[in-house]
Structure 1
Amino acid sequence: MRATVKDVARLAGVSPKTVSNVITGTVPVSPATRARVESALAELDYVPNLAARGLRNGRTGVIALALPDLSTGYSATVVAAFVHAAKRRGWSIHVEETGDDPGREQALLTRAREQQVDGLVLNPVLLESSALRRPQSLPPLVLIGEVDQPAVDHVWVDNPAAFHTLVTALARAGRRRIAVLGVMHSASSQLRVAGYHRALDDAGLPRDPELEIATRDWSAQGGHEAITRLLARGSTPPDAVVGLTDSLALGAIGALLRHGLDVPGQVAVCGYDDLEVARWTSPSLTSVSFDRAAIAEAALDLLTARIRQPGAPVDVRVVPHRVVVRESSGPLPLLPGP
């Protein structure tokens, strides 16, 4: 027979309301109590009856997560973090890919307004090309990533600060021709390049347009092709390359090594995202790291609050970052954090 909330409550020694609070995440529960309830949920193989819950409270038990490109390693880690965080709250996740298509975003906003899903977590590419650019009635919605819409709750990593920290460390290590790889028309690119520019200015290094390297996408192939083209022109190579993603940086390392350049002896290389593969490449990749689980938890906390109180003030959460120094950059003299 299917276990009920009352069965879980008896086994955990708590009230059914406490079990419900643990499942939905709507009310804080002490770590010890949460652990007992989660243990009982696992032991009884409890599965929430989403259909019955929906009839009682008008909810579907499903939220939508929309990312621009599901083919990347970064997207895979984000989806996994959201699935785990949602499961603890008794939600299922519907995953969508939007690209840079406002039509797809608008369709998801419409579904949420029609209560086909309880809420939406959206990662737009650019505000000016997003469905959010025009005023409209919004459903429960949280943005993740770099696009900021002042009327919407938002969770992000401070990209300019992260790149300022990384490029400053490279400059303090003696690197003088620091290239940025992956420049394109997106909010992420604009903010990361802004941090790169500020670090160059602070270090007294010139901004060289040749070292601001555009790519067709943020893949390893895109990074490899862009660095190969740069080296083929015969100009002085950079002594450091900062990829706007780990994938770009890994592609850059391959191109540099094939061209006979030593990494990090002649060219230091760094990335952003700290994908698992960054630890296991040779040389291992220095990267900006941040906690995907923290992003998911913060976003779903905000979404839960927005569903309960649609008129509450907008909330913005900043997830901390750190630079993980590995072989590809050589030692870096990082400044202490704030």
Structure 2
Amino acid sequence: MQEMVSSILESSFELASTQRVLATRFYTLKPSMLLYGPPKSGKNSLALCFGRAFKKIVYVDFQDARLIDSMRAHIHTFCDTNPLGLLILNRPPADFTPPSVPTIIIDSTPIHAPAHFICQPIMPLNFAEFVHFCKKDPPALLARFLKEGNLPAMLFLPAHAKIRYKQDICALSFGAHFDLFKALLFFQAKSISTHHLYTQLKKHIRTSKDTLYFFLATLQKSLTLFLVPSYFKAPPKIYFYDFALPYAFSHTHSLVPVFENMVALELIRHFGSKSLHYHGTCLIVQSSSPFACFPYAFPTPESLEHHLSLLLKVLPPMPILVISINYTHVGRIASGQTYQTYSFSHFCLNILPTL
């Protein structure tokens, strides 16, 4: 058994690396980190890419059915007798104590992180990373990003396989709650209380209030879903980790909530989810220099003046940035306040890093 374990562990990193496309992300890793986040956000690939800088690496996938209990007992022995540069543990059980070697842990949530580990959320690609990997003109890439979403696998899959890939990943990740998750996609970028959400869902699927509350809490812990609070006292808004995910389950899903979700994710990635609030369709970042971000896919000067005038009546004084798909404009509303409209690509690549 010991010889078999040694053989498997010694070849584990090379085997895992050949099964994935490894690319450097905009994250800084170091040992004693737990990487967590939603399904297929790139946690494994990121850890394996980081591991290439070390001389001797072992990768242990605890979801591998071949990793029987008797084999787990030999992992500590192997680490004690073999000098390791890095140990990568994918989904270790809650009762598993990592060996005393430099370790990276991959999990869906930070709940079972060892006390001395730093928890690092790993989100799918932001637009800057997407452009970095594709190395093409950003405005030309925006249509693809908006249609296909931000999962790293979308960069490498053939076009005909992308929708099925997302469907399969959701079915595998959410299991018995797959139908419930699909039903939630309809409420993308909608303001709705959990109680009202339950009353709407039970018209179409069989579920209980306890099941819904538990499932929503699980999705939030894994960063699969974000409930962004209102700037005032309205119910929270629902955003998903992959803004284009509803397209995998509907031919008729509107572009408007997808675009709003897309802008929200860029802000969450840059400022953190706790900094974000909303009012109407306006996203408000409460940082050291608060500002309002107004996603508006296809604005006109007239429509902008109308919507911004309404916003300014209820929001405290703060800069307002309008984010469109490809429209740029500097305007002034009747009250005298100026506003700037940026294209999404220009905002993400040039404006957001300065905020």
TM-score, with length taken from structure 2: 0.32
Superposition TM-score, scaled by structure 1 size: 0.33
